[in-house]
């Protein structure tokens, strides 16, 4: 019985890790949908600024996702 405990815990952690990744992807997709707004008559410099903001936001999201994955591996 006690010999099965480490394997069971590992399986549970694997399931949690997989679910964490799925939930993280869903959250990112939902946030992306919120950010998809059309703004009429934007000037070129506004579009450039927006593209920089989106790139920075994606880098942060990717870093958060990787951080959460590393945190779940430590358990």
* Contact predicate 17/69, CB 8 Å: yes
* Domain boundaries along the sequence of the chain: 4-74
Nearest residue to 25 via CA among 74, 54, 56, 66: 66
Helix (H/G/I), strand (E/B), else coil: 3: coil
The predicted-structure confidence for 34-70, as pLDDT tens digits, reads as follows: 766 766 788 888 888 888 988 998 898 888 888 888 8
CA dihedral 46, 50, 52, 56 (to 10 degrees): 150
Q: Of 15, 5, 2, 1, which Cα lies nearest the Cα of 72?
A: 15
Q: For position 75, what pLDDT does the model report?
A: 63
Q: Give every CB contact of residue 46 below 8 A, 6+ residues apart in sequence.
A: none
Is the predicted pLDDT of residue 22 greater than 80, yes or no? yes
Please give the model's pTM, rounded to 2 decimal places. Answer: 0.44
Q: Which has more pLDDT, 2 or 62? A: 62
């Amino acid at each position: 019985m006690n010999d099965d405990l480490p394997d069971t815990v590992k399986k549970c952690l694997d399931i949690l890790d997989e679910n964490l990744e799925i939930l993280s992807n869903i959250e990112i997709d939902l946030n992306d949908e919120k950010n998809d707004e059309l703004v009429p008559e934007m000037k070129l410099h506004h579009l450039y600024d927006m593209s920089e903001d989106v790139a920075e936001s994606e880098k942060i999201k990717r870093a958060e996702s990787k951080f959460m994955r590393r945190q779940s591996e430590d358990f």
